[in-house]
Amino acid sequence: MMQLALEVGQTATPEAVMFWILGPLAVLAALAMLLVKKAVHSAILMAFVMVVLAVFYIAQDAVFLGIVQVVVYTGAVMMLFLFILMLVGVDSSDSLTETIKGLRPIAITAAVGFGGLMVSLLGRATLGRDAIGLSAANADGNVEGIGYLLFSRFVWPFEVISALLVTAALGAMVLAHQPRSSKKSTQRQQSINRFRGESLATAAGLPAPGVYARHNAVDVPALLPDGTPAPNSINASLKARGDMLDSNTFDLKKISTQVEEEK
Amino acid sequence: MDASNYLYISALLFTIGAVGVVVRRNAIVVFMCIELMLNAANLSFVTFSRINGNLDGQVMAFFTMVVAACEVVVGLAIIVAIYRSRRSASVDDASLLKR
């Protein structure tokens, strides 16, 4: 077992250096999280704080928790946050203007009071003995120790939490589910729409973009057999964004048809 | 350096998270601040586990992580549901009970 916290109570110098570098950085990142305007920047700073906490866990002989912190928080939870941010997008709630009058001074005063209380309490609290350290508890390894506790003393909470996980998954599905606004068209209806539609020209489907043109790209219109480009072969959303190339440049008449002989 | 320095960091992060919950308006940022508070509590758990020389605190932190993961999943689903109906992720806009 790697021994990171060497002394009992007192920590080793490398850990102190690590702490005094990463600790202030974490607090600064957390503060910046409140001050930056964009929610995405907040998420990135949050991920940084979580990584720092993972380092702190590992430095305190909680190797398993440190790895879990990286995997679960910076891996899964923060990616979920970013995903939802992408889904919800940016709106007026990103601005930092104060909507409830006098809220900010009150919040800051309360925070200073609370933080001061906590810090002064911690400063005055005495344990009456030295910290013990985890070298004895981690004798068989950190993962083994936690696993032993999970399946002996904490087996009931462990089982209950599995029920919680299943319930949360179900709840998320129920909440995120949206009933269909229009009825799903059947295969029969789709077929009728295709052949009894406005024209029969597209009954066999639209040409795929790019594949008949000079190079294989979705923003290049297909060339029809007579050499004219087919602009309707390009995806409508690409067209709407203006991300398509001009069809005329791909007209066969303008492209040199001479084959250069390779030597 | 004493192990209790981690407790100071934990208290500071918790306080910052609490301020964020009150001050910010974007529901997702508010949610991230709640996560910060949970993480700060976890750091305390791990530090106390080291001070007391047993792994109970680490098991508690492990449980907190699982609960936090569940909470994120359900909370973000709620945010998405609210966003769908109101087109806004601001916590101030969901104030129907006030009127």
Overall domain count for chain B: 1
Residues of B in contact with A64 (CB under 8 A): 58, 62
Q: What ipTM was estimated for this complex?
A: 0.93
Q: Give the domain range for residue B29.
A: 5-90
Residues of B in contact with A57 (CB under 8 A): 43, 46
Confirm whether B95 is domain-assigned.
Answer: no
Q: How far is A1 from chain B (nearest CA, A)?
A: 15
Q: How far is B99 from chain A (nearest CA, A)?
A: 16
Q: What residues contact A247, with CB distance under 8 A and at least 6 apart?
A: A221, A229, A230, A231
Overall domain count for chain A: 3
Confirm whether A150 is domain-assigned.
Answer: yes
Residues A1 and A65 in one domain: yes
* Contact assignment for B62 to A65 by CB distance below 8 Å: yes
| Dihedral over Cα of A150, A151, A156, A162: its sign | positive
Q: What is the pLDDT of residue A25?
A: 95
Confirm whether A106 is domain-assigned.
Answer: no
Give which of A56, A84, A158 to mutate to test B binding, by max B Cβ within 10 Å: A84
Q: What is the pLDDT of residue A208?
A: 77
User: Which domain CATH number covers B77?
Assistant: 1.10.287.3510
B52 shares contact with chain A (CB less than 8 Å): yes
Helix (H, G, I), strand (E, B) or coil at A21: helix
Sequence-distant contacts of A207-210: CB under 8 A, at least 24 apart = A207/A232, A207/A233, A208/A233, A209/A233, A209/A234, A209/A235
Confirm whether B50 is domain-assigned.
Answer: yes
Q: What is the pLDDT of residue B20?
A: 92
For A205: left if phi > 0, alpha if psi spans -120 to 50, otherwise beta; the answer is left
A116 shares contact with chain B (CB less than 8 Å): no
| Dihedral over Cα of A133, A139, A145, A146: its sign | positive
- Strands (E) located in A85-226: 222-223
The pLDDT tens digits along chain A (263 residues) read 444 444 444 557 888 899 999 999 999 999 999 899 888 899 999 999 999 999 999 998 899 999 999 999 888 899 999 988 888 877 766 777 777 788 889 999 999 999 999 999 988 887 767 777 788 888 888 899 999 999 999 999 999 999 999 999 999 889 888 788 888 889 998 888 888 877 777 777 777 776 655 566 777 777 777 777 777 777 777 777 777 766 666 666 665 555 656 55
Q: What is the pLDDT of residue A7?
A: 44
Nearest CB to A92: which of B47, B58, B90? B90
Residues of B in contact with A114 (CB under 8 A): 15, 18
pTM of the entire structure? 0.75
User: Which domain CATH number covers A25?
Assistant: 1.20.120.1200
Q: Give the domain range for residue A148.
A: 139-169
What's chain A's Rg over C-alpha atoms?
Answer: 31
Confirm whether B74 is domain-assigned.
Answer: yes
